[in-house]
Structure 1
Amino acid sequence: MPIQKVTRDEILQKALGVFKRQGYHRTTMDDLARACGLLKGSFYYYFDSKETLMKEVLWWVNRTSEQRIFSVAYQHELPPDERLGLFLDRLYAAVLVSEGGCIMGNTVLETAMITDEFKEPMLVFFTNWTNAVAHIYETAYPTAQALKLAQQLAAEIEGSLLLVKLGSPESLLRDCRERAINRLNVPMHDCTSNP
C-alpha cells in the first residue's frame, strides 16, 4: 500500500470512523494505519499509542461539536425552537453520517466501567451538550428545570441511537426531535408540570 501524506486532522477523522464502527477495544493500530493509508511504523510518527489517538479523537469531536453544533444554541437571532431544531439536525447528521452512531455514547458504554482514561473528554462533551440545550430551554423554563430537561433529552437520544443500531427505525430520532421542540411550547406558568 502506498504511503500517503496525511494531516493530523485527516487521521483523526479517519480514526473516528474506525472507532465508531469497531469500538475502541476491537480496533488495532493496523486497522487505524490501514484506514489512514499509512504503514503501521509510519503511524507511530503521528501517535505513540492507540490510547493517545483515542483521546485526541474524543477531544477533536469536542472541538468540532462546539463549532458546528453546540454554538447554534447561542445564536440568539434565531427563535428558540429553530435553534433547538438546527442543533438536533446537526447532531443527528454528525452521528448518522457514518456507520457506528455516536462515538461518545459508544465509548462511554465500552470503557467507562473499565478505565478512567477517556472520561474527561466524554464528560466535557456531554456537559457542553446539555448546557447548550439547557440554554435554549431557559427561554421557557427555570434554570434547574431547563438543565434537567436537557439531560433527559441527551439520555433519550443516546437510547434511541442504541435502538437504531439494533435495527429500530430512525424515526425514533425524529420523534425525539419533535418532543424536544414541543417542550419549548409549554408556557412559563405551566413549567411546574412534567412536560
Structure 2
Amino acid sequence: MPIQKVTKEEVVNQALLLFKKRGYHRTSMADLAEACGLLKGSFYHYFSGKEALMKEVLGAVHSYFKAKIFVIAYDETLLPRERLEKMLAKQIRVASSTEGGCLMGNMAIETALVTDEFRPAMRTFFDEYLDALTHLYSYRYDAKKARQMAEQAMVEYEGAWVMVKLTDSSHYLQDVLERAMVRFDAAESNNVT
C-alpha cells in the first residue's frame, strides 16, 4: 500500500467512519492507519494513541452538530415547528449518510461502563442536544414538560438506531421524527402552554 500524506483532519474523518462502523474497541491502530493510507508507526505522528484520536473525533462530531444541527433550534427566521422538523431531519440524514448510525450513541453504549475518559465529551454533546430540543418544545409546553418531551424525543432517536441496526430497516428513524412532530402539534390542539 502506498504511503500517503494526509492531514490531521483527514485522519479524524477516516477514524470517525471506522469508529461508527466497527466501534471503538474493535477498531485497531492498524485499521486506522490502513484507512488513512499510513504505516502504523506513522500514525503516531498525528495522535499519541487511539484514546487521543477518539477524543478528537468526539470533539469534531460535537463541533459539527453544534454549528450545523443544534443551531437550527435557535434560528429565529423559522417557526419553532419548522426548526424542530428541520433539526431532527438533518440529524437523521447526517447519521444515516454513513454506515454505523449515531457515533455518540454508539460510543456511549460501548464505552460508558468501561472507561470514564470519553464520558465528559459525550455528556456535553447530549446536554446541548437536549437543550436544543427543550428550547423548541418550550414554545408549546411549560419548562418541565418541555424537558420531558425533549428527553423522550432524544431517547426514542437513540433507541431507533438500535432497531435500525437489528432489522436493517430505517423506518424507525422516520417514526421518531413523526412522533416528535405529533407531540409538538398536540400541545397546540390541547392549548397547553
TM-score band by shorter chain is over 0.9
Deviation digits for residues 9-57 of structure 1, max 9, x if unmatched? Answer: 2111110010111111111000001111111111100000000101110
What are the ranges of 5 or more consecutive residues in structure 1 without an aligned counterpart?
A: none
Task: Look up the match of 1:36.
Answer: 36
Aligned counterparts of 1:160 and 1:30: Cα–Cα separation in 2: 32
Q: Secondary structure at the match of 1:27?
A: coil
Task: Look up the match of 2:176.
Answer: 176
Task: Look up the match of 1:59.
Answer: 59
1:95 is matched by which residue type in structure 2? A
Greater alpha carbon shift after TM alignment, 167-176 vs 21-30: 167-176
2:4 is matched by which residue type in structure 1? Q
Aligned counterparts of 2:35 and 2:46: Cα–Cα separation in 1: 14
Aligned counterparts of 2:172 and 2:82: Cα–Cα separation in 1: 20
The aligned runs of 1:136-155 (5 Å cut-off) are: 136-155=136-155
Task: Look up the match of 1:187.
Answer: 188
Aligned counterparts of 2:181 and 2:80: Cα–Cα separation in 1: 9
Deviation digits for residues 67-90 of structure 1, max 9, x if unmatched? Answer: 111000000110111111110111
2:183 is matched by which residue type in structure 1? R
The aligned runs of 1:38-117 (5 Å cut-off) are: 38-117=38-117
Q: How much has 1:188 moved relative to structure 2?
A: 8.4
Task: Look up the match of 1:19.
Answer: 19
Deviation digits for residues 70-119 of structure 1, max 9, x if unmatched? Answer: 00000011011111111011111121111111111111111111110100
Q: How much has 1:4 moved relative to structure 2?
A: 1.7
Q: Does 1:124 align with 2:117?
A: no
Q: Secondary structure at the match of 2:45?
A: helix
Percent sequence identity over aligned pairs: 46
Task: Look up the match of 2:160.
Answer: 160
Aligned counterparts of 1:182 and 1:65: Cα–Cα separation in 2: 24
What are the ranges of 5 or more consecutive residues in structure 2 without an aligned counterpart?
A: none
Task: Look up the match of 2:134.
Answer: 134
Q: Any conservation in 2 of the 1:73–1:133 contact (CA below 8 Å)?
A: yes
Aligned counterparts of 2:56 and 2:84: Cα–Cα separation in 1: 28
Q: Which runs of 4+ in 1 moved over 3 A?
A: 188-192
Q: Any conservation in 2 of the 1:140–1:188 contact (CA below 8 Å)?
A: no
Aligned counterparts of 1:54 and 1:70: Cα–Cα separation in 2: 22
Change in CA separation of 1:188 and 1:116 when aligned onto 2, cut-off 3 Å: farther
2:100 is matched by which residue type in structure 1? G
**How many residues are matched?**
192
Aligned counterparts of 2:177 and 2:65: Cα–Cα separation in 1: 18
